């Protein structure tokens, strides 16, 4: 073996990886620029398809973050109010169109049957931690709205991927995002990857000069985690036996 790693290091790495958990309540303390820069540098050590790095990141802090959040919240309020208003509410939403997704409509579609149980389990666990009854649509909508406040994080990163590489661009971005989340974790910061913020690309483009051939994948809220009970939630992690495909 030429590797310098020893068993002790490997155990530490396994524990470190297992200890990263999604943060859903942040302190408003800003992320220092030098730390954010180091985290982004670490993110770029991830492997990439032909080393193309087919992604870009829009860093929203301060007033830009606040403007984006305000518009997201306004759109979400419009959508949730109309959706709760029965058939007439839905018709009004379709007529007015304000709040309808302008990108990534896929995320508002139902999950396929084989993946639905995991998503349902996550939802039930999260709402139990938030203290929201499943049938309480109003409270559930209020909690979902926290996505659009970026759960209080001072900075939201918007991840864009190159249109031409399709799934490989998304896969490369995912590798980069995980490096980013782990580096943030090492610096005592929390992250929440957010598909929820991927549906109104036009709002982000109004603030950033995003190249035309890039499309929004998702966001990542980043900041210092609060002591909130919400941050104690531990999503289920499947066993290796569920991961590995059985031989014929
Ligand atoms: C691409 C992606 C999008 C996600 N979107 C959201 C989101 O919109 N809101 C949210 O609260 N969590 C979101 N999550 C976080 C997942 O729910 C979380 O990673 C999962 O439940 C596993 O929990 P863990 O990160 O604590 O291990 C997202 C995660 C990923 C990878």
Q: What is the pLDDT of residues 34-47, one digit of tens each?
A: 999 999 999 999 99
pLDDT at 4 over 80: no
Half-sphere CA count of 188, side-chain side, radius 13 A: 9
Domains and CATH numbers, the chain: 24-234 (3.40.109.10)
CA 180/CA 43 separation, integer angstroms: 4
Q: Which residue has the higher pLDDT, 167 or 107?
A: 167
Ligand 1 atom closest to 196 (CA) = 8
CA 73/CA 99 separation, integer angstroms: 10
Identify the residue whose C-alpha is closest to ligand 1 atom 27: 21
pLDDT at 214 over 80: yes
Q: What is the pLDDT of residues 129-179, one digit of tens each?
A: 988 998 898 899 999 999 999 999 999 999 999 999 989 999 999 999 999
Identify the residue whose C-alpha is closest to ligand 1 atom 6: 194
Q: What is the Å distance from ligand 1's center to 12 Cα? A: 24
State pTM to two decimals: 0.94
Q: What is the Å distance from ligand 1's center to 148 Cα? A: 14
Identify the residue whose C-alpha is closest to ligand 1 atom 7: 194
- Residue 93's pLDDT is what? 84
- Report the range of poorest mean pLDDT among 36-45, 88-97, 110-119, 199-208: 88-97
- Residue 135's pLDDT is what? 87
């Amino acid at each position: 073996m030429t590797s310098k790693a020893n068993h002790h290091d490997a155990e530490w790495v396994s524990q470190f990886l297992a200890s990263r958990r999604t943060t859903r309540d942040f302190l408003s303390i800003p992320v220092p620029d030098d730390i954010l820069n180091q985290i982004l540098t670490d993110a770029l050590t991830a492997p990439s398809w032909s080393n193309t790095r087919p992604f870009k990141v829009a860093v929203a802090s301060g007033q830009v973050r606040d403007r984006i959040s305000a518009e997201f919240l306004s759109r979400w309020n419009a959508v949730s109010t109309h959706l709760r208003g029965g058939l007439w509410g839905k018709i009004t939403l379709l007529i007015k169109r304000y709040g309808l997704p302008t990108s990534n409509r896929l995320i508002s579609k139902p999950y396929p049957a084989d993946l639905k149980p995991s998503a349902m389990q996550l939802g039930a666990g999260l709402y139990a931690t938030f203290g929201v009854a499943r049938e309480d649509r109003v409270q559930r909508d209020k909690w979902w709205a926290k996505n659009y406040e970026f759960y209080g994080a001072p900075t939201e990163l918007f991840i864009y991927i190159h249109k031409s590489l399709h799934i490989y661009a998304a896969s490369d971005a995912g590798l980069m995002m995980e490096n980013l989340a782990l580096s943030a974790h090492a610096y005592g910061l929390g992250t929440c990857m957010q598909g929820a913020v991927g549906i109104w690309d036009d709002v982000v483009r109004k603030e950033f000069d995003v190249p035309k051939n890039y499309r929004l994948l998702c966001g990542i809220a980043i900041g210092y985690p609060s002591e909130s009970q919400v941050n104690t939630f531990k999503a289920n992690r499947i066993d290796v036996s569920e991961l590995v495909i059985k031989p014929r």
